[in-house]
Amino acid sequence: MKKIRLGVFGVRRGSYYFESFLANNADIVAICDVDELYMKKAVDKLGGNVTTYKSFDEFIEHPMDAVFVANYFHEHAEYAIRCLEKNIHVLCECTANSTMAEGVKLVRAAEKSKAFYMLAENYPYMLFNQEMKKVYEGGTLGEVLYAEGEYNHPGDPYSTENLSLLFDNDKHWRFFLPRTYYITHSLAPIMYATGSEPVRVSAMPIFAPGPKDCPRAGRVGDRAAIVTCLNNDNSVFKVTGHASFGGEDNSYRICGEKGMIENVRGTGGMISLNYNRWQIPEGKEEHNYYKPELIDKDAELIKKSGHGGGDFFVARTFLNCIRDNKAPDFDVYFATKLASVAILGHRSILNGGIPYDVPDFRKEEDRVKFENDNESPFWYSDGRAPTIPCCSVTDFAPTDVQIEKFNNAIEEDRKNQK
């Protein structure tokens, strides 16, 4: 098996993939980050045998076949483009782009490059989501009519454990993250399973700020965004973006003409598969309830990997695509479609829920419409400030007490990390 020379840009998230890359015969030859504390942790994790860089300009000149772009959530596109321009394959953390203009630039760069781009979206590879895709592609459900995706990941607003791993300061992207923007975990699994692509999006917020004295405060008082997508096959999806309401869970449902499949909350991956009683396929019952079995040559490694084995599948798929010279399923068009739904979904919230057409960046006429659209709710490393609100209540802000507690908690946690 050909060994792939891999660089990792951004080690806080990137280091979680080290074991999966190494298990799939990658050689991690270089890592890059400005944070000395987490760079040291990453070097230790790799046993010290890796070249380190603080500067991306120097890092990108290191001999590499591929780069895992895992820096700040909203700053991936610029660095992914630079890799593609040097014909270096890109595996990119979610999201692909934080502005519509970046999405246009990314697609154009990918089309010119000899290398390919893959989004590191791991939730479609969870076993129950793979089972849902398998059943749907088997045809027994008929054509999809409706599907749901719910990524619900609340956190204790008073907990400060590992806070410095998640935040740098009160201008960090998570502090300003609209609920629609982290949409890949709720939308990608049902897009991947059905092949449906959103063409129109609208969204409504659930505004419910946390306690006014908690340290884990942010500029977003919304708990979730309920995002509705009309798709290119006339089906409709309803997804949450990144939700934060009671009862943590991830759930998905696909409803077809003949049947419906979903994972059952709180069961550790059980599947409920139901058919119309007059359209029950041979070998099935009207109601089927089971847990899919993991049958894979790397089953033991998958079970140890993060996100229900999804991280391992992402790493293996990416590296095998390089070896086989095969374009990935989660390519630049898939990635920018997800990002467009996220960005335009938030725009819908800010404008009372009105729908927006979702562009197809395979088409130059759609790219032209958005090539100068740089609206963003984030602060950037180069000092650029937000140009649009990040919350549905546009003047919402944490209290001064919350911000002080927040910054003090980050400083204290960072001391504990050393």
Domain locations in the chain as residue ranges: 4-119, 126-298+332-370
Is 204 within 8 Å of 176 (Cβ atoms)?
no
pLDDT (mean) for 150-168? 90
pLDDT number for residue 20 = 96
pLDDT number for residue 164 = 84
pLDDT number for residue 106 = 98
Q: pLDDT tens digits for 386-408?
A: 999 999 999 999 999 999 999 99
For the full predicted model, state whether its pTM sits above 0.95.
yes
Is the pLDDT score of 244 beyond 90?
Answer: yes
Is the pLDDT score of 305 beyond 90?
Answer: no
Distance, in Å, from the CA atom of 149 to the CA atom of 281, rounded to the nearest integer, reads 26
Is the pLDDT score of 149 beyond 90?
Answer: yes
Q: Please provide the CATH number assigned to the domain covering 4-119.
A: 3.40.50.720
Is the pLDDT score of 418 beyond 80?
Answer: no
pLDDT number for residue 28 = 98
Q: pLDDT tens digits for 182-196?
A: 999 999 999 999 999
**Torsion on CA atoms 180, 314, 305, 253, rounded to nearest 10:** 50
pLDDT number for residue 388 = 98
Distance, in Å, from the CA atom of 226 to the CA atom of 240, rounded to the nearest integer, reads 5
pLDDT band at 163 (very low <50, low <70, confident <90, very high): confident
pLDDT number for residue 356 = 98
User: How many other C-beta atoms lie within 10 A of the C-beta of residue 376?
Assistant: 22
Closest by alpha carbon to 263, among 301, 229, 308, 224?
308
The proportion of the chain whose per-residue pLDDT surpasses 90, expressed as a percent, equals: 89
pLDDT (mean) for 13-25? 96
Mean pLDDT lowest among 71-75, 82-86, 280-284, 412-416: 412-416
pLDDT number for residue 308 = 84
Residue-wise burial string across 161-188, b where 16 or more C-beta atoms lie within 10 A, e elsewhere: eebbeebbebbbbbbbbbbbbbbbbbbb
pLDDT number for residue 417 = 77
pLDDT band at 306 (very low <50, low <70, confident <90, very high): confident
pLDDT band at 372 (very low <50, low <70, confident <90, very high): very high
pLDDT (mean) for 236-259? 95
Is the pLDDT score of 1 beyond 80?
Answer: no
Is 92 within 8 Å of 66 (Cβ atoms)?
no
Is 66 within 8 Å of 6 (Cβ atoms)?
yes
Tokens matching residue 103: 């999405």
Average pLDDT, the chain: 96
Q: Please provide the CATH number assigned to the domain covering 126-298+332-370.
A: 3.30.360.10
Tokens matching residue 252: 């998905």
Tokens matching residue 10: 């951004």
Q: pLDDT tens digits for 313-363?
A: 999 999 999 999 999 999 999 999 999 999 999 999 999 999 999 999 999
pLDDT number for residue 165 = 82
